[in-house]
């Protein structure tokens, strides 16, 4: 990772493919705008239940803004999927940056809205899938078993040594339903 000054308050960071920009759980006082390249945003990066939340490849797209705006730790890990360049914006300089670059603020709002829309769609698809499984009590292996395993692993934290159907049966009995 190589850093350069962009202006008196912000810096450009060059990343090689595979470099980690930030890590899930890390304190957050910066956000980034993508200049070039492609970044992957992951939940549980490098773990058994790793999930790619998004691929960011559009110039000007924002990364890490949620933690910065909410004052919470990073909710994912950002990894360079190819050589990339990002602009780092510090929390104490965000307002000044947005006044100087209003299109950056508009782009950030668009990115947040698109991510919220995508998560809402995925959540609704997951609810429908889980409801179908509960209602029909069958698994159509060719279409939904892999997705169901991923959803169950993520949402229910199924232990690796327990078959999903056994875990789901116990979970349903103990909690009266899946939803």
Q: Do 98 and 133 share a domain, yes or no? A: no
Residue 56 lies in a domain: yes
Q: Do 154 and 102 share a domain, yes or no? A: no
Question: How many structural domains does the chain have?
Answer: 2
> What contacts 59, CB < 8 A, 6 or more positions away?
34, 35, 36
**DSSP one-letter code for 93:** G
**What is the spatial distance between Cα 64 and Cα 4, in angstroms, rounded to a whole number?**
19
30, 87 in Cβ contact below 8 A?
A: no
Residue 150 lies in a domain: yes
Site of tokens 């008196």: 8
Q: Do 139 and 72 share a domain, yes or no? A: no
- Domain carrying residue 62: 2-112
**What is the spatial distance between Cα 145 and Cα 163, in angstroms, rounded to a whole number?**
12
Residue 117 lies in a domain: no
pLDDT digits (tens, 9 = 90+) for 2-52: 555 556 678 899 999 999 999 999 999 999 999 999 999 998 898 888 888
Q: Do 6 and 68 share a domain, yes or no? A: yes
pLDDT digits (tens, 9 = 90+) for 137-170: 555 554 556 666 666 655 555 555 555 555 555 5
Q: Do 108 and 129 share a domain, yes or no? A: no
Higher pLDDT, 24 or 175: 24
Look at residue 16 in the predicted model and tell me its pLDDT: 96
Name the band, by pLDDT with cuts 50, 70 and 90, for residue 178: very low
pTM above 0.85, yes or no: no
179, 130 in Cβ contact below 8 A?
A: yes
Look at residue 169 in the predicted model and tell me its pLDDT: 53
């Amino acid at each position: 990772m190589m850093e350069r000054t962009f202006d008196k308050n912000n810096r450009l960071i060059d990343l090689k493919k595979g470099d980690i920009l930030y890590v899930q759980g890390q304190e957050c006082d910066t956000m980034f705008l993508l200049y070039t390249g492609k970044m992957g945003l992951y939940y549980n990066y490098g773990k058994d239940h790793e999930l790619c939340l998004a691929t960011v490849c559009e110039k000007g797209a924002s990364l890490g803004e949620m933690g910065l705006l909410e004052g919470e730790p990073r909710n994912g890990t950002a990894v360079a999927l190819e050589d990339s360049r990002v602009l780092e914006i510090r929390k104490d300089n965000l307002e000044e940056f947005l006044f100087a670059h209003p299109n950056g603020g508009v782009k950030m709002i668009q990115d947040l809205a698109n991510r919220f829309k995508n998560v809402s769609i995925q959540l609704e698809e997951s609810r429908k899938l889980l409801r179908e499984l509960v209602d029909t009590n069958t698994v159509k292996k060719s279409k939904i078993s892999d997705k169901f395993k991923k959803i169950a692993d993520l949402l229910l934290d199924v232990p690796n040594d327990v078959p999903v159907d056994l875990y789901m049966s116990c979970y349903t009995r103990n909690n009266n339903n899946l939803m």
